[in-house]
Amino acid sequence: MTLLELLLLAVGLSMDAFAVSICKGLAMRRATFRAGMTCGIWFGGFQALMPLIGFFLGTLFADVIRAIDHWVAFVLLGLIGANMLKEGFAKKEEDEADGKGADMSIKTMFVLAVATSIDALAVGISLAMAGNVDIWTAVALIGLFTCFFCTAGVKIGNVFGNRFEDSAQIAGGVILILLGTKILLEHLGYLA
């Protein structure tokens, strides 16, 4: 693969995590660089790790992974989105402290990072089958681009969240559910 193809792959893989980072920013009262980097490191790390794992697994489990990856992403994103909707409709008082409106716990970030990077595992398997790919350059670009986009995504989401505070949490939940549904429909062949 050429460097341009690897760059395009990195940008494409980072978009799901970017959308989730925007949702995180929507739910925050005040997004700091630290909150953005937290998302960036979680998502960038997993987006880099999963293709590396996929590459080394090669074709051993390609059919199994492709058979269920969309269902796993759909369920995880759907559950997290539904929880955001529930919290948004409950209109809880959010703490003014940094990040209190968005759950940045290890458990939540781990689940989101896995959900948004499952497709990257399949990409890693595809890269192994393609051959002649510098996997280390690929995973470095994927991780760096995802980290950058997600860090920016938290701030972007926060700007809009502060302007539309009442419905920001609800919008974030809807986006996650739609993202999970989109992944499922693409893999089932209903969307191109």
Q: Cα 185 from chain centroid?
A: 17
pLDDT for the residue numbered 98: 40
* Per-residue model confidence as pLDDT tens digits over 33-69: 999 999 999 999 999 999 999 888 876 766 676 677 7
Q: Helix, strand, coil proportions of the chain in percent (round to 5)?
A: 80, 0, 20
Q: Which of 35, 22, 12, 4 is nearest to 145 (CA)?
A: 12
- pTM equals 0.72
Mean pLDDT, all residues of the chain: 81
Q: Are 187 and 69 in contact (CB under 8 A)?
A: yes
* Per-residue model confidence as pLDDT tens digits over 105-150: 899 999 999 988 887 887 887 788 776 788 999 999 999 999 999 9
In degrees, rounded to 5, the angle at the alpha carbon of residue 78 between the alpha carbons of residues 59 and 94 is 130
Distance in Å from the first CA to the final CA of the chain? 23
